[in-house]
Structure 1
């Protein structure tokens, strides 16, 4: 999937057992819970900290989840502050 990104928008999705965070040309994948089907809503973006609703196989209603991108970016030797600074919003990527 190719996403055209406005300069201030990043995208979140679930794909083949991974969470995918995409901003510009950078696409970061990290292991997601085994039963995650998809993300349904981004409730909050706070400079690398996400509050999202996620749909799981074992539950009929979405559950609130939390994702902290800073340690993930740091483990990838990406300067988290520089990378996240221009991002003003995060949307769910739809196939």
Structure 2
């Protein structure tokens, strides 16, 4: 297990963020096809490239996990602290 790596993927409009045994799922845009790359990880804030149905090219998008974690009553600072890298996880479990 990677103790400092988390994984991001989606299944249609459901986004999945996984770190260790914890899996967080949340709804994204209905037209999201897939993430194509993770450009930046900054302690809960992601900059990603995403491919949408309405555009041939991937677009830069931003995901802020802190409010999502807070809404789930997860201590964001404790949960995010060990994560140093986020990778895409299509076809991996």
Question: Does TM, normalized by the shorter one, top 0.5?
Answer: yes
Gaps spanning 5+ residues in structure 2: where? none
Report whether the alignment pairs 1:94 with 2:85.
no
RMSD of equivalent CA atoms: 0.7
TM-score, normalised by the number of residues in structure 2: 0.95
CA distance in structure 1 between the aligned counterparts of 2:12 and 2:57, rounded to whole angstroms: 21
Deviation string, structure 1 residues 3-61 (Cα, Å, up to 9, x no partner): xx400000000113211100001000000100000001000000000000000011111
TM-score, normalised by the number of residues in structure 1: 0.93
Displaced runs of 4+ in structure 1, greater than 6 A?
none
Tell me the CA shift for residue 94 of structure 1: 1.5
Deviation string, structure 1 residues 60-88 (Cα, Å, up to 9, x no partner): 11000000000000000000000000000
Task: Show the 5 A alignment for 1:1-95.
Answer: 5-95=1-91
Aligned length, in residue pairs: 91
